[in-house]
Amino acid sequence: MCNLPPKFHSVCRLCLSFCGDNCSDVKLPIFDRDKDKSRLSEMIMTYLSIMVSSEDMLPQVVCGSCAHKLDEFHTFRELTHKSERLLEQFVQYANSLSGPKEVSNKTYLFHKH
């Protein structure tokens, strides 16, 4: 068993920032018992491809800045998925009005003006 210093578990799991007791930056637990409140572990695995476990010996907190970035990743992902669905629906709607038209790839792709 290794002897880790107590401060080791107070660093952000993602950026390694350290914040002592008198710091204004909040440390958020990666694993929260209230599943509706915290999805940090899922977001870390989904957006960063970092496997986290409540059983590992690594820090179990992230700083507010990293948590905010994960929220931004999530918001951006949701926006792009919604945009993709809307664009696909628009193409389907446009095709239903005029019927599908064949487009010659030779005419439009790599056409130099």
Tell me the binding residues for Zn(2+).
12, 15, 63, 66
Give the Cα separation of 71 and 73 in Å (integer): 5
Joined together, the tokens standing for residue 47 give 């957006």
Binding-site members are: 12, 15, 63, 66
What single-letter DSSP state applies at residue 29? E
Joined together, the tokens standing for residue 64 give 């507010």
| Other Cβ atoms within 10 Å of 66 Cβ, number | 20
Joined together, the tokens standing for residue 48 give 């960063």
